Every structure is written in C-alpha cells, then in structure tokens.
Amino acid sequence: MAKGFFITGTDTGVGKTKISCALLRMFTEQGHKVIGMKPIAAGRENGVWQDVELLRTASNIPAAVSDMNPYAFDSPISPHLAAQQSGITIDLSVIKKSYHRLSMQADMVIVEGVGGFLVPLNKTETGEDLAKMLGLPVILVVGMRLGCLNHALLTVKAIRAAKLNLVGWIANCIDPQMEAVTENIATLQQRLEAPLLSWVPFGKELDQSVSDLTCWNKSLTEAE
C-alpha cells in the first residue's frame, strides 16, 4: 500500500496545486512511483480542470483520470453546491475506492483537497471527513495575505481536533502587496506548533527547480 500526504489549505486559491505538484516532482527525483489525486475539482476552464491536468502531468506513472479525479464539476463554487447543480451527491466511499486503486499502483499518492479544510462536500460531510477517511499525514498550505493568521490558526485547530497528523505547513506568498510578510510568518511559527516546511516567495516557480523543496526531505520522510 502506498504512502502519501493530504494537502489542505487555509482557503481556496492559496497554492495547493502548486505545492502538490512540487511534491510529486521531488518524490520522482528520489526514485518513487508517484500519483497525484484531486478527489473533487470544481471549476472547468477552456474545457479542462486545470488542477487535475497539472497533477496528472507531475505524476510519473499513468492512472485512470476517473480515479485521480472521481468528481469534477463545471462551476467554480463550493463542492456541495456544484454537486447539487449536477444532480448528484458526493459519496466519500467512491473517493476511498479510487484512492485505494491509486495506492496499489504507486509508492506515493499526493492527495490535494478542495478549498479549505472544512469546506462542505455534501449535506453532512466536509473536507475534514475526507481527510479523516484517508488518514494521511496532513500538510497545510497557508496563503500569505491579510487575514491569514486567523485562517491558519483556525485551520490548525480543526486539524488537531480531528486527531490528524499535521506534519508541517508551507507559507505561500500569494499577495505581492502584503505588508510585514516576515513578521506574519514569524508569528505563525511561534503559534502553530508545527514545523515550517517551506517559504515560497511571491512569483517563485517550483516547476523548474525541485531543489527548492530539499529542506522538506527530513520532515516528510519521518512522517511517511
């Protein structure tokens, strides 16, 4: 059975896909067979779901797209609402079966969550339930912008309450106008009680230099 990580974020648009793809490339360089999974995608652009395509491209073994992405919706809205529009209900057992099939093909499965940690998936379940079902170590991507301190602290509190293994967090600078970035990161380092795995400056591309993530190796290896 493969190992892996569940990548969640403080919100939507904070860089979960960017970080997930960088992880896939890093583990590829280490000689692992890796697959990226986006259980739920909401928002199709130019006929494709960009997050799914990026994860597929960063994976180094082929897998059925229906397993990599069991649920895909056109509208860029909350998954439970997108599912309602499509006349279906998101079933976590379907995602679990897809994950199991992927895990039989790969050494490492990187699962990218949708939206924030507590985003509703159906009438009763949220992203937390998805993470708990998979039981993978969690990496939190913090989108560094105004309001991120509260978002990060609340998200970590929810992850801890779910009794999941938070192996660390990434500061992804997404707002070039944010003031006191260094001070905000230092505040989170002091309060989150989880290691800062990486700090990605605004505009920094991780597609071409996976060496940016070498500082993660020890922490992630210990968490596998």
Instruction: Find the CATH number of the domain harbouring 119.
Output: 3.40.50.300
Domain coverage including residue 167:
3-223
Percent of the chain at pLDDT exceeding 70: 90
Average pLDDT over residues 106-130: 96
**Residue-level pLDDT at 216:** 52
Residues marked active site are found at 38
Q: Quote the number of domains for the chain.
A: 1
**Residue-level pLDDT at 74:** 94
**Residue-level pLDDT at 93:** 97
Q: How do residues 154-185 score in pLDDT, each as one tens digit?
A: 999 999 999 999 999 999 998 999 999 999 99
pTM of the model: 0.91
117: closest CA among 162, 148, 77, 82? 162
Q: How do residues 28-60 score in pLDDT, each as one tens digit?
A: 988 999 999 999 999 998 889 999 999 999 999
Label the pairing between strands 108-112 and 3-9.
parallel
Average pLDDT over residues 79-92: 96
